[in-house]
Amino acid sequence: MNKIVGLVITDSNSSTFKSKKPVESHSILGQSVLQWSGSALAEITGEAQSIQCDDIGRAKDLIGNSENFIINWGDQPLILADTFRHLLEKHSSEGNDTTAIISCNGKASVYVFKSKNFLDRLNELGIQSLSKFNIAQIFQSIQNKNKISSEDKTQFIVVDDRVALSIAMGEVKSAILKKVMLSGATVMDPSSTFIDAGAVIGEDTVIMPNTIIEGNTVVGEGSIIGPNSRIVNCRIGNNVEVANSVAYDSSVGDDTHVGPFAYLRPGSNVGKNVKIGDFVEIKKSVIGDRTKISHLTYVGDAEVGSNVNIGCGVVFVNYDGKNKNKTIVGDNSFIGCNVNLVSPVVVKNDAYIAAGSTITEEVPENSLAIARQRQTIKQDWVTKKDLKRK
């Protein structure tokens, strides 16, 4: 038998929230409201079980396997572990059958019950739902109890509308940023910075203003992220700069520069000491070490080797209208400006492609590919056509 069980009960039918999905499923910086409501409770009980208020059978099974159990509600995400600890200590030291902390306005509450006593009262009253009203009714029916009133307006907030959700998000955000800064990273403007709970930021990394870091992103040491950047589920190496750019589900190696205005789409794997410049889009591609893609280029479904130079305006033409095809560019190659690489195609190591070429066939090693018409000059064409600009 478990000595103590933690239950997070979902009982929010708030019409004030105005949403097609449950309040508890809404996100606060990487976790749902429900997950936040259970996280601190799990520190005390080892695990917090989430349960619908009308799932009375499962509730009885969980409670019946414990000596005591603590209740938090799924729309109370800010209750601290110390509060649950204090509640449990009061309950044990006073020998109560039940103890509660209830906010001054009566909206928020947490409870601890002796399990056997609770189940007896549940059966006697014929209660079939662990709603907030019914739990309060059971609490009131027990003689040996202690009700503690709390004036803490921060912890005891109930997320019952979008305003309360915003307040809760602000509190969680402050706690996360404090943890990040105390771990050795610099957050230049906390008011405009959002970092999810699952993200890890390395020592001496600087987070510039207007930056959002989401999911399980890991940023190494000595990097600069931002300003005006969004990083989602990425692994960013050491001494990396990501400026004014967006990256999803990608990795970036050490000493690489991304941006400004670059876009790393899911599945991009960028190597070390790489330059991904302005208005460059990478999609589901591997970019080798020391490669430079400096501006105005699209690289999709490709393997690009090491020490490759890709000029301005290059397009990896990866879609034929039905299928996505792959391009391979070998090490030490040079791709001139305004080149179209029509997939599937292979450019071997140490090859050069002349500017303005459209490449549809394999380019051999150490060769130059030119795929464009010879220049034609028509003398006096402008005069004959009367197109002279005034």
Spatial contact of 100 and 147, defined as CB atoms under 8 Å apart: yes
CA angle 376, 377, 378 (to 5 degrees): 120
- Which single residue is written with the structure tokens 């080798």? 288
Residues 293 and 275: beta-carbon distance below 8 Å: yes
Query: Residue holding tokens 């202690």?
Result: 146
The conformational region for residue 86 under phi > 0 = left, psi -120 to 50 = alpha, else beta, is: alpha
Q: Is 210 exposed, middle or buried (0-12, 13-18, 19+ CB in 10 A)?
A: middle
Count of Cβ atoms closer than 10 Å to residue 179 Cβ = 13
Distance in angstroms (rounded) separating the CA atoms of residues 181 and 201: 9
Tally of CB atoms within 10 A around 222 = 16
Q: Which residues pair with 257 in a beta bridge?
A: 241, 275
- Indicate which residue of 26, 91, 257, 295 is catalytic: 295
Smallest CA-to-CA distance from 38 within 49, 22, 30 is with 49
Question: Rounded CA gap, 388 and 380, in Å?
Answer: 10
In the residue annotation, 295 being an active-site residue is answered as: yes
Catalytic residues: 295
